[in-house]
Amino acid sequence: MKRFLPAALGAALAMAFASTVSSAQEATDITPSPQQIHWQDLEFGVIVHFGTNTFLDREWGDGTADPKVFNPDHVDALQWARASRAAGARYMVMVAKHHDGFALFPTAQSDYSVKSSPWMGGKGDLVRLASDAARAEGLEFGVYLSPWDRHEPRYAEPQAYDAYYRAQVEELAQHYGPLVEWWLDGAGSAGHVYDFPRYIETLRTYQPNAMVFADMGLFEYGDLRWVGQEDGYIRGENWNVIDRHGYRRWRPVEVDTPLHDLHWFWHPNDEGTLKSVAKLVDTWENSVGRGGQLMLGIAPDRHGRLPDADVARLEAFGKALRARYGDASNLARHHVGTDENIEAALDGDKNTFWSAPAGSRHATLEVNFGHPVTFDRTLTMEWLDDGQHVRKYAIEVFDGKAWHAVASAEAIGHMKIDVFPRVTAQRVRLNILSSVGDASIREFQVFNAGPLPSN
């Protein structure tokens, strides 16, 4: 993963973030593609790290590991997929080649792959197993193929390596079914010039619907962007339109972080780094709950299975999320009768939405419970097919005499969870104080979730 960035790349990311708010006011004519809408609705995925590093107790392989060290005795990709689905994930990305250059699929471009390992007599294909398992468990599938390659001799010759990388793109894009995402990592890229336009042209030939993830500093025309760090949190207002060098594009953010603190690959005696359920829920609330996408790293052990403790933690994480934000916990589902327009935002159906009055730049969406109800957060989803329109809003409660704000911000976007001190009220509303164009809200939900889980 991206453990460091060249100084110039980091500066580019900082400039991109700084320009986001100023650009947002000029960006309402930029809308997402159908594929981006679909991807944002997935909300939560996992990325699988497995390879020679697993057997050498490393995070960063240098490309010199003997392929013979890769020899798991019980690969169970279905277990990975089941555990991911239990956590609430909707897609799985497989690291087909990390920075060490060792390919987990039998690429015809190099012998540095599973075909040179003793695993399955050199006939194995981890990408195939992961792809089949993901689809069997109802998950969509994606691929990570590191541009940086510390083993391949052609890496020193950019044109020769570009041809090598494109050939691997073709293999992965043609033989593993529809891909929802293609991961382009920026680590180790200082001083090397990649032919990214040709890479993406090749990918688009076979996978026109795959979303391309990349750092803002790699190229401006990616479909998805990195949040800028790996702690799992979005900070500041989250706008979907990003300006880089005057090039504006709808580019939602993906937030990547591992299940274990600072560890993407499995390591022995590592259970102490496993993140708590409370930490995972807090991460979800500050990534998905701030309009982004959560990409959680999972790592099989030397047997090819997720450790039992990891499986249990993923299951407990999913259970905690469902308890806090499941449909049964949504207090707004129980309200007094209202009109059809408002009902579209309260019905739990993301395919319907409330619309502000035509031409309005300020509007309110109110829930009347019919009796006093205690709650401590709201979840709001903007309908984004026509762009991100809300520019300022408040969550307000009625005390019997007047409305009082309990939370306020600027961006809503795909999803925004607003948390505030517990309050008891019969009426609560979303007050859209400013919008550019007519605001549309898919969901307005109310919860009494309480503190984070204790474990």
Asked which of 78-92, 386-400, 441-455 is least confident by mean pLDDT, the reply is 441-455
Q: What is the pLDDT of residues 225-246, one digit of tens each?
A: 999 999 999 999 999 999 988 8
pLDDT beyond 80 at 302: yes
Q: What is the mean pLDDT of the chain?
A: 93
Taken in order 411, 412, 416, 421, the sign of the CA dihedral is positive
Asked which of 5-14, 23-32, 57-66, 252-261 is least confident by mean pLDDT, the reply is 5-14
Helices (runs of H) and strands (runs of E) counted in the chain: 10, 16
Cα separation, 215 vs 217, in Å, equals 5
pLDDT beyond 70 at 4: no
Asked which of 139-143, 330-334, 449-453 is least confident by mean pLDDT, the reply is 449-453
Tell me which long-range contacts 121-126 makes (C-beta under 8 A, separation of at least 24): 124/75, 126/50, 126/75, 126/77, 126/94, 126/96
Q: What is the pLDDT of residues 305-318, one digit of tens each?
A: 999 999 999 999 99
- Range 78-82 average pLDDT: 98
Cα separation, 101 vs 381, in Å, equals 41
- 277-285 and 308-325 helices cross at what angle (nearest 10)? 50
- Range 116-135 average pLDDT: 98
447 closest CA partner among 398, 400, 380: 380
- H or E element, residue 34: helix 34-42
CA 39 from centroid of its chain's CA atoms: 9
- Range 34-58 average pLDDT: 98
225 closest CA partner among 202, 257, 250, 193: 250
pLDDT beyond 80 at 2: no
- Range 59-84 average pLDDT: 98
pTM of the model as a whole: 0.93
Report the pLDDT value the prediction gives residue 26, as an integer from 0 to 100. 56
Per-residue tokens: 270:
């590592």
Beta bridge partners of 364: 431
Report the pLDDT value the prediction gives residue 27, as an integer from 0 to 100. 67
pLDDT beyond 50 at 10: no
DSSP codes joined into one string, 43-105: -EEEEE--SHHHHHT-SS--S---GGG---S---HHHHHHHHHHHT--EEEEEEE-TT--BSS
Widest pairwise Cα distance in the chain? 76
Query: pLDDT band at 22, cuts 50/70/90?
Result: very low
Task: Give the type of residue at 169.
Answer: V
Query: pLDDT band at 454, cuts 50/70/90?
Result: confident
pLDDT beyond 80 at 439: yes
Query: pLDDT band at 23, cuts 50/70/90?
Result: very low
Report the pLDDT value the prediction gives residue 13, as an integer from 0 to 100. 42
- Range 246-267 average pLDDT: 96
